[in-house]
Every structure is written in structure tokens, then in C-alpha cells.
């Protein structure tokens, strides 16, 4: 099936996919703890019976059971060498059932390994892993690909690139969102839609983790930015425990009722996930099959994103700043730092500019003596872990730009693409492939344009070339090409004319390198500020500048206020009062000023290293305290633990997400390893012993690993038994070490009942340990149903839970 065929099908009518596979195969005898793909191959009747039932219920598409048949997943069962054979067999089983009844989609999901820098899996290795599976699947032939149950936007991108670089079949991507409306890594539904549709995905949506009722707001968020169809595959409600078994009690009719509301919110494709049956799909089809299909009303996508934040570029909105400081040009100290291989100043510049009000951060690593490509990649890893702001990737080298775009976990802004023929088309192709916005620079190989007409010609050349490659004009921002007024008296006037032309005639936003206008002039700050005020009044959208310059930020806010832009007056009123001196403006404090928003302004350097995840600096800061005579235990209690408490608090408040939580925990771990050998023997006793494991049959351990790391950082003696651990092994170890706490994790509804096995066995064996549970499918009511002693939703909450239990027990 071609992408055009798939789009035509979607435009004609509502399309239906199948329902649950795992919970239905369990009904047919699949035991916990086995490799599902291997069991299906050994019991082909089970999947074929199920998929026939889904087609009979009205499904247009069934998913070949290749869900976890990647090399990384199969290796957990020692089956990685069977990858090609198994994927082909699994697809063949579904194709035999489908015949002419409907379509077969290959099913791809997460590997369970964390990507660098949070984990050890490199992005390109993940792309290769997915490619292996895609190539194996294509040997048997499918109609489309479904990438589903994804918790990481970056892993979605890896899977999409693997598919697109291997074939041209339609791609559906479906993510799983937590109760807070974000993925495990802090991505919202609208961010996921923006990034993936910009990369050319055919349909984006959500599945699993929740019932259809809880998906309504998430679908609405996606629909607000969607220029492609939305898919929903909810669970049949939330799981409940009944007679020792996990059951889903939402009836087919109630499921169809709730999904009808999702249709009204903007969903196009429908199916079911955990707990849904052929009866649920039949009721769904009966309810929606005669509904009129939605029509796409194209929305302009002038927006760049990080993994956790959207920044809209509004022609009539407030003036924006692209922070310029992560650029070694003219910065000797920064250059020296980069030559030493240190990225500490990169991260400091990023955080400082975010705090000062930058909207986007420019990253440029162009200097002699370093590997620009590698330094660009390393900087992207560091900056995207440290701040939420989207990035403007700044390099003139095509290979460096592609490497940067490839690993960037969002929708970037390319700086820049000129009319220079040798680079224009390759750069535009990168923008198309990776879904980036781009800055159009009105230059050609001949140099600067001689007049306004030539400047317009260069702009048109780039825009026309972009459209010929399938790029929308909404992806473009025009650089007005500022020259110094000291050398060309009409430089300012030419810029103002360019701004008005782009806004009023082309309908495009504009950007400039602000400081160029005053190059070689005395008292440059006044020229810059005056130029900026006039430019904003003409319609300038944003400038590449230093947000730490008070005059710049105040002039821009004042100009916005006088032009009555949305929110401008409130923003201006919130700025601190400046003291005007002969040397210029300096910040002061006054009524009406915003309080200090930095999370670390009152923290010690060691605590700040934990809060900001500075694992490369924390040892030196700890050593300074040791050299000054501070006791190791005091450093732990008053600096390290204080820092990790702030991290946990920010995570609770949803100001931090998984990347920042792990970065802080890793920094603290480095600090603890440095200080532990110096502790007195009587201070090394752990607060309590915790045995932790992912239960039998479940091979997911991201959450469990983070809990273990956090508990260790708080001084608990943690014994991590790993994943897929039988109940007897857990209890035997707890009894052996006289554990105070047993921590259990499960990601899947098909394995959560193994927690009940552990609780019952603990009672039989007389194990004194308190048992706490957690995981994506777990909730407080399940804790009560199996008589566990505690439940936590995440690692930060688990630390508090363990502390509370030990305090009460004491």
C-alpha cells in the first residue's frame, strides 16, 4: 500500500484496527514469563483465531505480532539470532488470516533500553536495531508500519527514520501518556504531533496506559495542531483484581460510548489495547462506521520544539530572542574550555539564557582545533538534558547539520540556508527529512545582494526550492541580513524595508543578528537598542542576541507594550526596575519585580551540581568543602541530600521530568562515590535494606533502575535483583539479608499479578519486610487489593514512601 492509498482510505471513512493481543493470548493459554513471539510461533492457532475474530468484528487492519521482535528484546531470551526467521514467520501468520479481508501492519515498539545520555544506547545503534527488524519484516511484506506504546519521543524518531530509510510504506506512531498528560520523558501530545507530522508520519496518536475517558483531553491537544489523522487505541478501562486475576470490566457498549467522544474530539482511526476483545471492536465499529470522516483544515506550523516544550513563532506576537551565547566566536575563555573538551560553559550559557528570557537557543561550535561535528553532538546532548528550550542549530557544514538534526529530540530551527546552490538543496533536503524549520539567508555564492531587488530574488530562490521539495513556506524564517550602519548608511533602512516586505507581502517571520548593525561604532548598545525598537515596530519577529543585556530586553518589552501585543504590558510590569547610571542600565529591585526564579540561587555549589545534573563538576566542588575542613557526613546531609530533595520537589511539581531527575541522581551518585571512602565506619551504616526487582514475566526495568539509584543516593542499602524475577527468589533474598523493604515493579497488566504472588509468599514464609509496588499499570487501589504496604507513582515519590515507612516502623 502506498502512502497515497492509505491517505485516500482514511479520507473516505473511519478506519478500524484490531484490539488487544497480549490479554487475549493469555486467555488462550500463553503463560507469563515466556517470549510472546516464540510462544505465538509455537502456537500459531492462537493468533490466527484471534485475528480472524477481529476481522469478523469489522477491523480493517490487524497488527502482525512483531511487537517486541527486535534484536535487543529477543536477546533477553537468547533468540537474537532468530530475528529474521521469527519476524517473517510472525508476519506470515497474519497475512494468511488477512487474505483479502484487510490490511496487515507490522508492529514495532520500545526496546526497554534508555538512550544516551540517560542510558548507554546510542541513537544510531537504536536506528540500526529497528532497521534490522524492518528489513526482516519487509522480506515477507506488510501494508504499513505501526510504531506503538512508545514512551519516548526520541525513540519514536529513531523508529520513523529506520522505516523511512528502508521503505516508503505508511507509518502510524502511537505514544503512551501518563496520568499527568505527558510521556515518561515529559513530552505532551501536541509536541509529539508537531514533531512527528513534521517528519512525514502519516498518523499519530495514543494507545494503552488508560481507558478511553482519560484520552479525551489528550486527543483535543493533538487535534489543535494536527495536519494529519489521529489514532486512538485505549484500554478497556483500568485493570481490576478479581479472584486473583487482572480483569478489565468496561463493557463493549461503554467502550464504544467513550470512543464516540474521542471521534467528536478529532480521532480518525480506532482500535483497542489491553482488555479490549473482538466484542469491543464489534461494538466500536457498529457505533462509528457510518460517521462522516473528518476533513483536515491545514494549520500553519510555525513552531519549534524540544522534547518538552513548544515555541510558537507568531508574526503578530511578542518579540522573541534566540540566545546567541553558545558560540565560541570572540570568546577566548569559552574557546579554551572547548579545546579542553569541557562542556560546562555550554550548559551554563544554556541555563543562564533560559533564566534571562531567551525563547530559543542558538548552538554554534564552529572554531579551529576541535571536531565541530562531535562537539555539536555533545553540546546537543548536554543542552537538551539541562534546559527545555528548543534549539537553533547553527553550522554551515551540511554533514554537521545532518548529524545534529538526526539526534535532536524535537523540531529544530536550521541556521541557515542561503541561495548558494552547492549547499541550498542539500540543506533543504535535511529540513524536509527531519521536519525542521529553517532560516532563509538572502545570500548567493556571489556574496551580499547589491540592492533590495536582488535580496528579494535570493529569498524567492530559497523559498521556491523549498516548495519544490515539499517543504511548506510556514517552515521558513527570513534573515533580514543586517549590515553595519557605520559602513553603509542605509543599512538600517534596508533592514526595515526587508522586514515589512517579508511580513506584509510574503507573510513570513523575520530574524536578524542584532549586534551587526553597530559593528565598529562607539557606544554600540544605544545603536542596537534604537535599531531594535524601530525594527520591532516594523514587524521584526525575533533577533539572535544576548538575553543577559538588560537594555535589549527592556527595549523589546517596551516596544511590545507600546504596540499593545498580547501579554506585553504584564511582561514589562514584571521586570525589575533598573538603576540608570552613566555607564548604562543596571538591574535593581523594586515593588512589582518578579522574585528570583532560579532554583539554585540560595543553594551551595555542591547542591547546585545535583540540582542541575553537573556530574562533571560535583567532585571538584565536594573536594573544595573537604579541603576547607568540612566533615564528609555533613556534606552528604547538608549538601548532597539537600540538592536531591530539590530535584524531587521540582519533579513533583512537574517542573522537572525524567531526564532532569536522572541527571540529578547521576550527579549525586558520582558525588557519593567520591565521598564514601572518607566516611567513618560508624557512619556508613545504611538507613535500611531494600530488595528491589521487576516481577516474573516482566522485562522492563527503566523505572525500577531509577528507583534503585534514588534510594541508594538517600543512603539506603539497595539490593537490585534485576528483571523477570520469580517470587521465590525475591522472598528468599529478603529473608537472607533481613530486608526492611521489598520493592516490586511491573510495567505490563499481564504481569502485575505476580506482585500478588510475592505478597502471599511473604506471608507464608514469615518475611518481615514491608512490600511496596509501582509501575505504569499500578495504582493505589491495586495496592489495597493485594494488601501491599505502599504504592508510589515514581522514583521521587518512592523515596518519600520508604522514608515514611521506616519512620513509622521505628
Question: In the prediction, which pLDDT does 708 show?
Answer: 85
Q: What whole-number distance in Å separates Cα of residue 29 and Cα of residue 36?
A: 11
Count CB atoms within 10 A of the CB of residue 315: 15
Q: What whole-number distance in Å separates Cα of residue 691 and Cα of residue 390?
A: 40
Question: In the prediction, which pLDDT does 582 show?
Answer: 43
Instruction: Give pLDDT tens digits for 158-212.
Output: 999 999 999 999 999 999 998 889 998 899 999 999 999 999 999 999 998 788 9
Question: Across residues 698-710, what is the average pLDDT?
Answer: 76
**pLDDT at residue 682 tops 50:** no
Instruction: Give pLDDT tens digits for 391-415.
Output: 999 999 999 999 999 999 999 999 9
In the block, residue with C-alpha cell 502456537: 43
Q: What is the largest CA-CA distance in the chain?
A: 89
Q: Is residue 423 exposed (0-12), middle (13-18) or buried (19+ Cβ within 10 Å)?
A: middle
- CB distance 283 to 167 below 8 Å: no
**pLDDT at residue 680 tops 70:** no
Considering the segment(s) 3-288 as one domain, its CATH architecture is Alpha-Beta Barrel (3.20)
Q: What whole-number distance in Å separates Cα of residue 736 and Cα of residue 730?
A: 10
- CB distance 756 to 244 below 8 Å: yes
Mean pLDDT of the chain: 90
Count CB atoms within 10 A of the CB of residue 216: 16
Question: In the prediction, which pLDDT does 318 show?
Answer: 93
Count CB atoms within 10 A of the CB of residue 645: 17
Question: In the prediction, which pLDDT does 705 show?
Answer: 80
Least confident of 8-17, 242-251, 474-483, 491-500: 242-251
Tell me if residue 18 falls in helix, strand or coil. Answer: coil
Of 217 and 32, more confident = 217
Angle formed by the axes of helices 278-288 and 44-57, nearest 10°: 20
SS (H, E, C) 80-108: HHHHHHHHHHHHHHHHHHHCCCCEEEEEE
Instruction: Give pLDDT tens digits for 335-387.
Output: 999 999 999 999 999 999 999 999 999 999 999 999 999 999 999 999 999 99
Q: What whole-number distance in Å separates Cα of residue 241 and Cα of residue 785?
A: 7
Angle formed by the axes of helices 398-407 and 123-140, nearest 10°: 80
HSE-CB at 617 with a 13 A cutoff on CA atoms is 19
Q: What whole-number distance in Å separates Cα of residue 712 and Cα of residue 730?
A: 19
Question: In the prediction, which pLDDT does 59 show?
Answer: 97
**pLDDT at residue 793 tops 90:** no
| CA distances from residue 347 to 326, 363, 571, 664 in whole angstroms, order as listed | 9, 11, 26, 14
Q: Is residue 497 exposed (0-12), middle (13-18) or buried (19+ Cβ within 10 Å)?
A: middle
In the beta sheet, which residues pair with residue 258? Answer: none
Instruction: Give pLDDT tens digits for 464-509.
Output: 999 999 999 999 999 999 888 888 888 889 999 999 999 999 999 9
The helix (run of H) or strand (run of E) holding residue 592 is: none
Question: In the prediction, which pLDDT does 87 show?
Answer: 98
Question: Across residues 66-85, what is the average pLDDT?
Answer: 95
According to DSSP, the β-strands at 578-581 and 584-587 are: antiparallel
Q: Which residues contact 536 (CB under 8 A, 6 or more apart)?
A: 319, 556, 559, 560, 563
Give the annotated binding-site residues for Zn(2+): 208, 273-274
Question: In the prediction, which pLDDT does 209 show?
Answer: 79
Q: What whole-number distance in Å separates Cα of residue 386 and Cα of residue 351?
A: 7
In the beta sheet, which residues pair with residue 207? Answer: 233
In the beta sheet, which residues pair with residue 391? Answer: 361
Instruction: Give pLDDT tens digits for 532-557.
Output: 999 999 999 999 999 998 888 888 88
**pLDDT at residue 297 tops 90:** no
pLDDT band at residue 463 under the 50/70/90 scheme:
very high
Read off the DSSP letter of residue 455: H
pLDDT band at residue 685 under the 50/70/90 scheme:
low
> Could you tell me the three cell numbers for 141?
511484506
pLDDT band at residue 596 under the 50/70/90 scheme:
very low
CATH for 605-678 is 1.10.1240.10
Closest CA to 282 of 270, 267, 294, 291: 270
CA geometry: angle 314, 659, 688, nearest 5 deg: 150
Q: What whole-number distance in Å separates Cα of residue 155 and Cα of residue 364?
A: 25
> According to CATH, where is 1.10.1240.10 located in the chain?
605-678
In the block, residue with C-alpha cell 516490586: 744
**pLDDT at residue 154 tops 90:** yes
Does residue 47 have a cis peptide bond before it, meaning omega lies within 30 degrees of 0?
Answer: no
Q: Which residues contact 31 (CB under 8 A, 6 or more apart)?
A: 39
CA geometry: angle 323, 553, 587, nearest 5 deg: 115
**pLDDT at residue 69 tops 60:** yes
CATH for 303-582 is 3.20.20.20
The helix (run of H) or strand (run of E) holding residue 574 is: helix 568-574
> According to CATH, where is 3.20.20.330 located in the chain?
3-288
Range with top average pLDDT, 30-34, 282-286, 628-632: 282-286
Contacts 24+ apart (CB under 8 A), 517-521: 517/482, 517/483, 517/484, 517/485, 517/491, 517/492, 518/484, 518/485, 518/486, 519/484, 519/486, 520/484, 520/486, 520/487, 521/484, 521/485, 521/486
Closest CA to 22 of 67, 55, 62: 67
Tell me if residue 331 falls in helix, strand or coil. Answer: coil
> According to CATH, where is 3.20.20.20 located in the chain?
303-582
> Distance from first CA to last CA of the chain, Å, rounded?
65
Q: What whole-number distance in Å separates Cα of residue 756 and Cα of residue 762?
A: 10
> Could you tell me the three cell numbers for 709?
539509584
Question: In the prediction, which pLDDT does 683 show?
Answer: 47
- CB distance 624 to 577 below 8 Å: no
> According to CATH, where is 3.40.50.280 located in the chain?
686-809
Of 140 and 612, more confident = 140
Give the annotated binding-site residues: 208, 273-274
> Could you tell me the three cell numbers for 593?
519585580
Q: What whole-number distance in Å separates Cα of residue 514 and Cα of residue 544?
A: 6
Question: In the prediction, which pLDDT does 486 show?
Answer: 80
Query: What is the Cα gyration radius of the chain?
Result: 28
Q: What whole-number distance in Å separates Cα of residue 562 and Cα of residue 549?
A: 20
Read off the DSSP letter of residue 33: T
Closest CA to 411 of 423, 428, 393, 395: 393
pLDDT band at residue 600 under the 50/70/90 scheme:
very low
Tell me which fold the domain 686-809 belongs to. Rossmann fold (3.40.50)
Q: Phi and psi (nearest 5°) for 152?
A: -125, 125
Instruction: Give pLDDT tens digits for 643-659.
Output: 888 887 888 787 888 77
- CB distance 165 to 204 below 8 Å: no
Of 386 and 701, more confident = 386
Read off the DSSP letter of residue 74: H
Q: Phi and psi (nearest 5°) for 221?
A: -65, -40
Angle formed by the axes of helices 550-562 and 524-538, nearest 10°: 30
Count CB atoms within 10 A of the CB of residue 757: 20
> Could you tell me the three cell numbers for 133?
527488524
**pLDDT at residue 681 tops 80:** no
Percent of the residues in the chain that have a pLDDT greater than 70, as a whole number: 95
Distance of CA 75 to the CA centre of its chain: 26
Question: Across residues 317-333, what is the average pLDDT?
Answer: 94
| CA distances from residue 478 to 416, 442, 484 in whole angstroms, order as listed | 9, 8, 18
Question: Across residues 598-619, what is the average pLDDT?
Answer: 79
**pLDDT at residue 594 tops 50:** no
| CA distances from residue 440 to 413, 458, 474 in whole angstroms, order as listed | 11, 9, 12
**pLDDT at residue 699 tops 90:** no
Q: What whole-number distance in Å separates Cα of residue 408 and Cα of residue 394?
A: 13
Percent of the residues in the chain that have a pLDDT greater than 90, as a whole number: 64
Q: Which residues contact 48 (CB under 8 A, 6 or more apart)?
A: 93, 96, 97
The helix (run of H) or strand (run of E) holding residue 350 is: helix 344-356
Q: Which residues contact 424 (CB under 8 A, 6 or more apart)?
A: 417, 418, 461, 462, 465
Amino acid at each position: 500500500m502506498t502512502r497515497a492509498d492509505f491517505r485516500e482510505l482514511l479520507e473516505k471513512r473511519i478506519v478500524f484496527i484490531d484490539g488487544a493481543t497480549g490479554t487475549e493470548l493469555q486467555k488462550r493459554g500463553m503463560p507469563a514469563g515466556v517470549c510472546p513471539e516464540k510462544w505465538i510461533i509455537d502456537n500459531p492457532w492462537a493468533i490466527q483465531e484471534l485475528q480472524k475474530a477481529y476481522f469478523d468484528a469489522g477491523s480493517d487492519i490487524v497488527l502482525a505480532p512483531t511487537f517486541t521482535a527486535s534484536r535487543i528484546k529477543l536477546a533477553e531470551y537468547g533468540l537474537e539470532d532468530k530475528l529474521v526467521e521469527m519476524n517473517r514467520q510472525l508476519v506470515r501468520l497474519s497475512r494468511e488470516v488477512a487474505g483479502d479481508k484487510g490490511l496487515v501492519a507490522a508492529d514495532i515498539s520500545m526496546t526497554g533500553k534508555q538512550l544516551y545520555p540517560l542510558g548507554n544506547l546510542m541513537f544510531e545503534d537504536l536506528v540500526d536495531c529497528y532497521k534490522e527488524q524492518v528489513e526482516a519484516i519487509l522480506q515477507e511484506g506488510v501494508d504499513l508500519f505501526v510504531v506503538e506504546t512508545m514512551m519516548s519521543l526520541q525513540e519514536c524518531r529513531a523508529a520513523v527514520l529506520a522505516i523511512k530509510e528502508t521503505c516508503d510504506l505508511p507509518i502510524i506512531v502511537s505514544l503512551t501518556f501518563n496520568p499527568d498528560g505527558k510521556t515518561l520523558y515529559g513530552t505532551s501530545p501536541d509536541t509529539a504531533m508537531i514533531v512527528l507530522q513534521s517528519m512525514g508520519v502519516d498518523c499519530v496518536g495514543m494507545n494503552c496506559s488508560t481507558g478511553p475517558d482519560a484520552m479525551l483531553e489528550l486527543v483535543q491537544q493533538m487535534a489543535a495542531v494536527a495536519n494529519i489523522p489521529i489514532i486512538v487505541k485505549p484500554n478497556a478501562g483500568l485493570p481490576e483484581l478479581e479472584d486473583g486475576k487482572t480483569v478489565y470490566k468496561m463493557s463493549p457498549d461503554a467502550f464504544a460510548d467513550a470512543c464516540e467522544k474521542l471521534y467528536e474530539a478529532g480521532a480518525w482511526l480506532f482500535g483497542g489495547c489491553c482488555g479490549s476483545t473482538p466484542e469491543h471492536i464489534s461494538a466500536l465499529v457498529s457505533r462509528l462506521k457510518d460517521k462522516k470522516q473528518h476533513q483536515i483544515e491545514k494549520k500553519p506550523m510555525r513552531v519549534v520544539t524540544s522534547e518538552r516544550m513548544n515555541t510558537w513563532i507568531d508574526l503578530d506576537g511578542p518579540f522573541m530572542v534566540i540566545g546567541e551565547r553558545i558560540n565560541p566566536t570572540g570568546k577566548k575563555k569559552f574557546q579554551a574550555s572547548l579545546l579542553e573538551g569541557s562542556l560546562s560553559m555550554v550548559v551554563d550559557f544554556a541555563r543562564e539564557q533560559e533564566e534571562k528570557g531567551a525563547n530559543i537557543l542558538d548552538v554554534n561550535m564552529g572554531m579551529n582545533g576541535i571536531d565541530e561535528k562531535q562537539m555539536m553532538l555533545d553540546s546537543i546532548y548536554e543542552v537538551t538534558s539541562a534546559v527545555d528550550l528548543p534549539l537553533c542549530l547553527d553550522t554551515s557544514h551540511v554533514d554537521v547539520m545532518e548529524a545534529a538534526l538526526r539526534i535532536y529530540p524535537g523540531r529544530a530551527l536550521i541556521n541557515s540556508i542561503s541561495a548558494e546552490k552547492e549547499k541550498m538543496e542539500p540543506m533543504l533536503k535535511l529540513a524536509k527529512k527531519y521536519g525542521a524549520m529553517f532560516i532563509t539567508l538572502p545570500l548567493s555564492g556571489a556574496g551580499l545582494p547589491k540592492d533590495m531587488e536582488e535580496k528579494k530574488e535570493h529569498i524567492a530562490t530559497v523559498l521556491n526550492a523549498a516548495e519544490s521539495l515539499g517543504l511548506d513556506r510556514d517552515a521558513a524564517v527570513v534573515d533580514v541580513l543586517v549590515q553595519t550602519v557605520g559602513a553603509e548608511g542605509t543599512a538600517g533602512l534596508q533592514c526595515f524595508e526587508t522586514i515589512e516586505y517579508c511580513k506584509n507581502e510574503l507573510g513570513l517571520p523575520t530574524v536578524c543578528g542584532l549586534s551587526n548593525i553597530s559593528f565598529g561604532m562607539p557606544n554600540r548598545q544605544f545603536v542596537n537598542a534604537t535599531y531594535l525598537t524601530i525594527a520591532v515596530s516594523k514587524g521584526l519577529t525575533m533577533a539572535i542576541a544576548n538575553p543577559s543585556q538588560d537594555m535589549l530586553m527592556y527595549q523589546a518589552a517596551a516596544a511590545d507594550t507600546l504596540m499593545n501585543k498580547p501579554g506585553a504590558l504584564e511582561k514589562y510590569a514584571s521586570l525589575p526596575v533598573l538603576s540608570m547610571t552613566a555607564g548604562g542600565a543596571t538591574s535593581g529591585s523594586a515593588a512589582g519585580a518578579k522574585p528570583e526564579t532560579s532554583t539554585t540561587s540560595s543553594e551551595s555549589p555542591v547542591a547546585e551540581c545535583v540540582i542541575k545534573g553537573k556530574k562533571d563538576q560535583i567532585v571538584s566542588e565536594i573536594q573544595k568543602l573537604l579541603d576547607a575542613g568540612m566533615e564528609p557526613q555533613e556534606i552528604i546531609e547538608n549538601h548532597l541530600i539537600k540538592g536531591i530533595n530539590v530535584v524531587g520537589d521540582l519533579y513533583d511539581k512537574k517542573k522537572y521530568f525524567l531526564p532532569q531527575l536522572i541527571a540529578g541522581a547521576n550527579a549525586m551518585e558520582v558525588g557519593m562515590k567520591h565521598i564514601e571512602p572518607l566516611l567513618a565506619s560508624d557512619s556508613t551504616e545504611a538507613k535500611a535494606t531494600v530488595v528491589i526487582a521487576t516481577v516474573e514475566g516482566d522485562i522492563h526495568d527503566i523505572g525500577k533502575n531509577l528507583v534503585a539509584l534514588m534510594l541508594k543516593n538517600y543512603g539506603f542499602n539497595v539490593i537490585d535483583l534485576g528483571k523477570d524475577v520469580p517470587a521465590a527468589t525475591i522472598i528468599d533474598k529478603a529473608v537472607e539479608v533481613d530486608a526492611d523493604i521489598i520493592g516490586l515493579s511491573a510495567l505490563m497488566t499481564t504481569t502485575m499479578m505476580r506482585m500478588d504472588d510475592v505478597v502471599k509468599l511473604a506471608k507464608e514464609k514469615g518475611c518481615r519486610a514491608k512490600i511496596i509496588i509501582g509501575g505504569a499499570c499500578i495504582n493505589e487501589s491495586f495496592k489495597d487489593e493485594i494488601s501491599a504496604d505502599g504504592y508510589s507513582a515514581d522514583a521521587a515519590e518512592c523515596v518519600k514512601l520508604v522514608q515514611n515507612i521506616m519512620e513509622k516502623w521505628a
